A and B are shown apart, each in its own frame.
Chain A
Amino acid sequence: MLPPAVETRALGKSFGLVPVLLDVDLRVASGRAAVIIGGNGAGKSTLLAILAGVSAPSSGNALIFGQESHRLAADTRRNIAMLSHHSFLYPNLTALENLEFYASLYGVRNPHDAAYEWLTRVGLANFAGERVRRFSRGMEQRLAAARAMIAAPMLLLLDEPFGALDSAGVAIMTDLIRTELARGCAVVASAHAPMKFDGVDLDQYEIRRGRLIPLSDHAEPPRASRLRALLGRQNQ
């Protein structure tokens, strides 16, 4: 039986004496999506960084396709992609050059053609020759999404993927995520509020005081979401 894309067991992370994550158990199979919600500083990005293999857990395990996340083999790293607060894009390279570079790095055949295809998919084909330095935040986010998905990963780690996107960008991102899930990719996304994708089952969790709490469909929404809902009704 193939191991799940993501499996954490009693995962903990501290920065110095400050615990950020405590006893986190998470399991995400291929083709499934998990959404991690929480407020600022809750530990969402920390969890994703551990799953990406760039930060080691302080305790417990984080397994990616059965391998320890901070000791991933090159072949496994090839199957993981991350969309982060940082774009991972070189400001002085053009959009096309950035995608060609990452496509080459990940062993994509015909990096040039793949780069053009993905620029078209994210609506940036007309900006292929523009340096990223001149991009708006939303354009950079779209390009970053293309960078993350160009190598057809089997695990996508998305840190607040809809931030800075306009409605067209949100539609593009939603479509991309849906396509990746349909392809069998596992998705772990972080957000400030629960997400909803039509026709897609999402496993939703909240990080509360460092612990990962599953949210059911009928569970009371987190306190922050109730407050936003209340403010929304008052403003009407």
Chain B
Amino acid sequence: MTAFVAVLSKDLRLELRSGMSTIAMVALAMLVLVVLVFALNPGVARGPEAAAGALWIALVFAGMLGASRALLAENENACIRALLMSPIDRATLFAAKLAAAAIFMMVALAAGVVLTVLFFNLNFSGALVRLAPILVLGVIGFAALATLLAAISGRARGGELLLPLLIVPLFVPALIAGVRAAGAALSGAPMATARDWIGILIAFDVLFVTAGYLLFEHVIGEE
């Protein structure tokens, strides 16, 4: 637990100092939402389903930009080598990096939700309370996937370019489920109608958090 807290607090402190990841993620989320609001038919653009789709697109783009930075930032001064040499368990390192990535994304997502409510004329109502756990599930799944794939792609030349190519296809099932579940939450439909979609999100999270926990020690490192 001490090592987990040490790594997580170090990453949060670094992000608070530079803010690079979070600012970039918020800016990109804002850009995506603005473009979609003006690109979509006004009649469509004001609907909760469109808002849900726009929010998830913003989440994916922002996540691709920032979710892997918690791990990739260790390349400076070869700090990743020091982490690998330390007594920290690889699975604990994965958990700490996943937690850091998830926190960065949630900060950006909070800004994205506010912008979505404003741009898509939604109400700050109970619908947002129902939306929150769906977004949290999405963030956790994306952060787990991004952290694991960042470890794999980090060993390859041009790994940062490879990462989005790997993340997007694998995230599609969770993206579809997240959009449908968020649409149901925002439109006020009974959450029972979104039960299957929420189930897919939960299964996605369990799959990739477990995969990362078990596989991280085999994919992180040098030749």
Contacts and interface: CB of A to CB of B under 8 A. Distances in A.
Given A88-B82, A90-B76, A104 B2 contact: yes
Contact of A90 (B3, B79, B81): B79
B87 A78 contact: yes
A12 B135 CA distance: 50
Contacts of A230: none
Contact of B88 (A54, A84, A92, A105): A105
Contacts of B77: 86-91
A97 B13 contact: yes
B223 A90 contact: no
Interface string B95-136: 000000000000000000000000000000000000000000
Interface string A96-124: 01000110111100000000000000000
Given A54-B222, A55-B222, A84-B78, A105 B87 contact: yes
A48 to B, nearest CB: 11
Interface in A105-145: 105-107
A82 B17 contact: no
B168 interface: no
A145 to B, nearest CB: 13
B173 to A, nearest CB: 35
A101 B8 CA distance: 11
Interface residues of A, number: 31
Interface in B1-43: 2-3, 5-7, 10, 13-14, 17-18
A169 interface: no
Contact of A89 (B7, B79, B87, B221): B79
A55 B6 CA distance: 25
Interface string A29-65: 0000000000000000000010011111000000000
Which of B7, B84, B223 gathers most chain A CB within 10 Å?
Answer: B223
A77 B221 CA distance: 15
Contacts of B17: 92
B85 to A, nearest CB: 6
A80 interface: yes
A211 B132 CA distance: 61
Contacts of A147: 82
A176 interface: no
Contacts of A197: none
Contacts of B196: none
A75 B223 CA distance: 23
Contacts of A74: 87-89
Contacts of B83: 105
A138 to B, nearest CB: 15
Nearest to B81: A54
Given A101-B6, A101-B10, A105-B3, A54 B76 contact: no
A58 to B, nearest CB: 10
A144 B199 CA distance: 48
A107 B222 CA distance: 25
Given A90-B10, A92-B17, A93-B13, A77 B85 contact: yes
A15 B223 CA distance: 9
B84 A54 contact: yes
Given A92-B17, A97-B13, A101-B10, A106 B87 contact: yes
Which 10 pairs from chain A and chain B are nearest by CB?
A86-B78, A88-B82, A104-B6, A78-B87, A74-B87, A105-B86, A77-B87, A92-B17, A87-B77, A101-B10
Interface of A: 15, 49, 52-56, 74-75, 77-78, 80-82, 84, 86-93, 97, 101-102, 104-107, 147
Given A97-B10, A104-B3, 18 more contacts: A54-B81, A54-B85, A54-B221, A54-B222, A77-B87, A78-B86, A78-B87, A86-B78, A88-B79, A88-B81, A89-B77, A91-B76, A91-B77, A93-B13, A101-B6, A105-B3, A105-B6, A107-B2
27 contacts: A49-B222, A52-B81, A52-B85, A53-B85, A54-B84, A54-B222, A74-B87, A74-B88, A81-B85, A82-B81, A82-B82, A82-B85, A84-B81, A86-B77, A86-B78, A86-B81, A88-B77, A90-B14, A90-B76, A90-B77, A91-B76, A97-B13, A101-B10, A102-B82, A104-B2, A106-B87, A147-B82
